[in-house]
Amino acid sequence: MSEHTYKIVELAGSSTQGSDEAVRNAIARAAKTLRNLDWFEVVETRGHLVNGKIAHWQVKLKLGFRMED
């Protein structure tokens, strides 16, 4: 962060592969519509279980991006 103002949005990404991949998926989706993405923070890691196995990893994260002046 320099002299600008940043907006922070909260997303939840999911993946069948693992926790890091759930983060990457959420960021990839956000990058389709948001510019100037600057940082993320993991808020919560959880998942959905089916038949005693992890069906989806689900990670909540906050994303900060610089607002246009």
- Greatest pairwise CA separation for the chain in angstroms: 51
Between 48 and 67, how does the x/- string for binding to a second copy read (CB under 8 A)? Answer: xx--xxx-xxx-x-xxx--x
Least distance (Å) from a second copy to the CB of residue 68? Answer: 10
Least distance (Å) from a second copy to the CB of residue 54? Answer: 7
What is the b/e burial string over 59-68, where b = at least 16 CB atoms within 10 angstroms of the residue's CB? bbbebebeee
CB 62 within 8 A of CB 44: no
Between 4 and 43, how does the x/- string for binding to a second copy read (CB under 8 A)? Answer: xxxxxxxxxxxxx-xxx--xxxxxxxxx-----xxxxxx-
Task: Return residues touching a second copy (CB under 8 A).
Answer: 1-16, 18-20, 23-31, 37-42, 44-49, 52-54, 56-58, 60, 62-64, 67, 69
